[in-house]
Structure 1
Amino acid sequence: MKGIQHGILLRKLNYSETSLILNFFTLENGFQAYIFQGGKKKKGNILQALSLVEITAFRREDSDLGKITEINPTFIPQSIPYHPLKSGLAFFITEVLAQVLQSSDKDAEMFAFLEHEVKWIDNSDEFTNYPIWFLLKLADQVGIGINVSDPNGSIFDLQDGVIANETPSSHLFVNDEVVAILIELLQSEKNALLAMHIHKTHRKQITEHLINYFRLHINGFKTPKSLSVMQTIFE
């Protein structure tokens, strides 16, 4: 069956000298995988991390892998592919999303959120704290948002996703100087959070705590390989 879908590129793998395996989060069907024969030559220039595209593809009922016949951009980024910080951020985000959304069905709200954020990143110059904001917002989007039960809490319970003062029975908790900062971040609107001055050491700690939180709550989630690179370029 042939159909048209709107997708956000999450992963690109070489399949042969000219072909690609592509993973998208689509508006119509959630997470989808395709083979794009000759894709390296045909559209290699538009197939970048977080590319927003329209996909024309065939899919057999007995196969999980569709076959792309045409792909075209629905948004042409002006800065993400050419800006080292933004391209590094985009690669990190796609690596996170590819794991979080790998079994996701249709979710129009999630797609709209991601589409908006791709365009925001392309147009914005305020993104030093963005990886933290994105991880917090993504946690909310997938139903594992962190709750502040005590504004003066000092313990982040990774198991229950709660910040409080009670030490949990498990050893899955954080009790360090960045918990107070995390509370402030969770209580801040996007613009205020992005404008906050956070020492690079604290940014690194918070990001690592959030990655560990995703590892605990998302089945099969692993620390993104791009994390260390992203932390380096954001210093």
Structure 2
Amino acid sequence: MLQKTRGIALSYIRYRESSIIARIYTEEFGLQSYLVNGVRSARSKNNKIALFQPLTLLDMVVYNKPDRDLHRLSEMKTSYPFQSLPFEVSKSTIALFVTEMLNKVLKEEASNPMMYRFLIDSVLFLEEAQTNYENFHLTFLLKLSFFLGFGPESSREFETQLRENSYPFLPDVEMETALNIMLRQKLGTLIKLSRAGRNELLDALVAYYQIHIDSIGEVKSLPVLREVLN
């Protein structure tokens, strides 16, 4: 049965000579995998493989069968052509990191409208922001943790959970203030945080996720993110 849904591209792997299997977080069905034929062929029109780059927003018509792990895409187009996110190195690197984390933590194959709305709003903010997005990935991870069920209520709770799991996190006043702003304010709120503080908090956030989700393992995009943002 053909159904319409919107989605956010997360990743893809090559399949046979000209196809891919794409992981997409959809509005109607949660996280799904789709077989997309012919997009890597030399005859493929309009460079459709670009539709599956990290965080691309999609309008899709899909064949969705609840008893299957792999579905098919009938039609797809971008719902919001990006003008900056894939082309600005800092934004594209942040997007790569965010996408890797989403691939590791999103498991639910069911509709979650609040989660989907949060992800859409976050992607649109990163695309449209001209300033004050250097802390985007930090605020994003903090806010995402609430949708995943382990969000801290305050910087003190965040610190306590890390210490209880043998992670040596000792934030100064600046970092505690930054954490509380990230927890309570919207994306793009001006936050005073040094580069060293940003890196320290990034490592702490990844450790915090690893405490709550055993399967995260190594985050390969982390060294690249640090280098680009420094």
**TM-score for both structures, normalised by structure 2:** 0.86
Tell me what 1:82 maps to: 87
The reply on whether 1:229 has 2:215 as its aligned counterpart is no
Tell me what 1:164 maps to: none
Tell me what 2:196 maps to: 201
- 8 Å CA contact 1:6–1:53 kept in 2: the answer is yes
Q: Aligned pair in 2 of structure 1 residues 36, 174: CA closer, same or farther (>3 Å)? A: same
Question: What SS class does the counterpart of residue 54 from structure 1 fall into?
Answer: strand
- 8 Å CA contact 2:90–2:228 kept in 1: the answer is yes
- 8 Å CA contact 2:62–2:75 kept in 1: the answer is yes
Cα RMSD after superposing both structures: 2.3
Q: Provide the rounded CA distance (Å) in 1 between the counterparts of 2:214 and 2:10.
A: 18
Residues 75-95 of structure 1, C-alpha deviations (whole Å, 9 max, x = no match): 111111111111111111111
- Output the amino acid matched with 1:158: Q
Q: Aligned pair in 2 of structure 1 residues 128, 5: CA closer, same or farther (>3 Å)? A: same
Q: Provide the rounded CA distance (Å) in 1 between the counterparts of 2:19 and 2:26.
A: 21
Tell me what 2:153 maps to: 147
- Output the amino acid matched with 1:96: M
Give the paired residue count.
222
Question: What SS class does the counterpart of residue 211 from structure 1 fall into?
Answer: helix
Q: Aligned pair in 2 of structure 1 residues 88, 75: CA closer, same or farther (>3 Å)? A: same
- Output the amino acid matched with 1:75: Y
**Greater share of helix:** 2
Q: Provide the rounded CA distance (Å) in 2 between the counterparts of 1:66 and 1:111.
A: 20
Q: Provide the rounded CA distance (Å) in 2 between the counterparts of 1:94 and 1:9.
A: 9
Q: Aligned pair in 2 of structure 1 residues 224, 194: CA closer, same or farther (>3 Å)? A: farther
1:102 is displaced (CA, Å) by: 2.4
Matches within 5 A, 1:181-192: 181-188=174-181, 189-190=184-185
Matches within 5 A, 1:96-115: 96-115=101-120
Residues 23-45 of structure 1, C-alpha deviations (whole Å, 9 max, x = no match): 01111011101110112335112
Residues 33-85 of structure 1, C-alpha deviations (whole Å, 9 max, x = no match): 11101123351122221011012222445531001121111111111111111
Unpaired runs of at least 5, structure 1: 160-167
- 8 Å CA contact 2:22–2:52 kept in 1: the answer is no
**TM-score for both structures, normalised by structure 1:** 0.85
- Output the amino acid matched with 2:10: L
Question: What SS class does the counterpart of residue 91 from structure 1 fall into?
Answer: helix
1:131 is displaced (CA, Å) by: 1.3
Q: Provide the rounded CA distance (Å) in 1 between the counterparts of 2:150 and 2:196.
A: 25
Q: Provide the rounded CA distance (Å) in 1 between the counterparts of 2:154 and 2:208.
A: 15
Question: What SS class does the counterpart of residue 12 from structure 2 fall into?
Answer: strand
Tell me what 1:12 maps to: 12
- 8 Å CA contact 2:178–2:192 kept in 1: the answer is no
Question: What SS class does the counterpart of residue 21 from structure 2 fall into?
Answer: strand
1:181 is displaced (CA, Å) by: 3.9
